[in-house]
Amino acid sequence: MKEGPDIAHIAALIGDPARANMLTALMSGKALTVSELAEESGVTIQTASSHLAKLDEGGLLRPRKQGRHKYFALANDDVAHVLEALMGLAAGSGHLRKRTGPRDAALRQARVCYNHLAGDMGTRMFDSLMAKGHLIRDGDSLRLTHAGADLAAKLRIDLAALRGNRTPLCRECLDWSERRSHLAGSLGRAFMSRFEELRWVKRDQKTRIVTFSKTGAEAFERLFPLD
């Protein structure tokens, strides 16, 4: 028997179609009930409960109880990054479940990837941050510069609080539709939350689509220009 991490076990958990649909639904960042996840995966509630128990035991989910209801969310950012990367691999290999349409175009334009902005608008923001020197590469990691800190302060993002979290401040996440990086980590989450607070964007909890208002799109372009 080979030593090291058992990737086959995790791959088997994700690889079941019903469980894959459940995990994809949770990429919205919203915790869902057993019945909601059963509907998403096209199985009975009893079967969904069995699948969720396996995903929980495998460390991929975080169950939460509120009143009489039990909710499920992705365990952490690492699970979301793996799922986003797998989506990119599947799309790049031509493994698409249905023909593209308006919803697909909207998802490619802007969507939420667990808790941060993804799609064309997400990669645009990342490219602008890199081009303007707000982010720089430090080995295999990303580092926020003084100019980047000033930009975050301009948006009233509390960097001191973010740096106190265990989650990395800045992290690259490979965008499945653009095949380029968008910004994850606690700063990526803070940007998305701030955009929502300013009512620049509105997310569709069922599809993960993020819609920019006219004012939001104009402000976003001013804040994250590209040459």
> What is the C-alpha separation between 36 and 79, in angstroms, rounded?
20
Looking at the domain assignment, is residue 112 inside a domain? yes
Looking at the domain assignment, is residue 70 inside a domain? yes
Looking at the domain assignment, is residue 85 inside a domain? no
pLDDT at 100: 44
Looking at the domain assignment, is residue 35 inside a domain? yes
Same domain? For 152 and 209 the reply is yes
Same domain? For 113 and 193 the reply is yes
User: What is the arithmetic mean of pLDDT over 204-222?
Assistant: 92
Query: Positive or negative, the Cα torsion across 210, 223, 169, 163?
Result: negative
Looking at the domain assignment, is residue 104 inside a domain? yes
Looking at the domain assignment, is residue 86 inside a domain? no
Same domain? For 143 and 54 the reply is no
State which residues form the domain around 47: 7-75
CATH of the domain at 24: 1.10.10.10
Show the 3-state SS of 69-136. EEEEEECCHHHHHHHHHHHHHHHHCCCCCCCCCHHHHHHHHCEEECCEEECHHHHHHHHHHHHCCCEE
Q: Taking the complete model, does pTM exceed 0.75, yes or no?
A: no
- For residues 214 and 1, the model is more confident at 214
Distances from the Cα of 178 to the Cα of 19, 55, 107, 124, 216, angstroms: 25, 28, 11, 10, 22
User: What is the arithmetic mean of pLDDT over 14-20?
Assistant: 92
pLDDT over 70 at 191, yes or no: yes
pLDDT at 38: 93
pLDDT at 103: 64
Same domain? For 110 and 70 the reply is no
Looking at the domain assignment, is residue 90 inside a domain? no
Last residue of a domain, one of 75, 106, 131: 75
pLDDT over 90 at 30, yes or no: no
Model confidence pLDDT, tens digit, residues 116-146: 999 999 999 999 999 999 999 988 889 999 9
How many distinct structural domains can be found in the chain? Answer: 2
Same domain? For 105 and 23 the reply is no
Same domain? For 131 and 61 the reply is no
Same domain? For 180 and 216 the reply is yes
Looking at the domain assignment, is residue 105 inside a domain? yes
Same domain? For 60 and 102 the reply is no
What is the pLDDT of the chain when averaged over all its residues?
A: 89
Same domain? For 111 and 212 the reply is yes
pLDDT at 207: 83
pLDDT at 116: 93
Model confidence pLDDT, tens digit, residues 34-46: 999 999 889 999 9
Same domain? For 50 and 155 the reply is no
pLDDT at 93: 64
Same domain? For 56 and 123 the reply is no
Last residue of a domain, one of 31, 60, 75: 75
Same domain? For 56 and 110 the reply is no
> What is the C-alpha separation between 131 and 81, in angstroms, rounded?
24
Model confidence pLDDT, tens digit, residues 68-126: 888 999 998 889 888 888 887 777 666 555 544 446 789 899 999 888 999 999 999 99
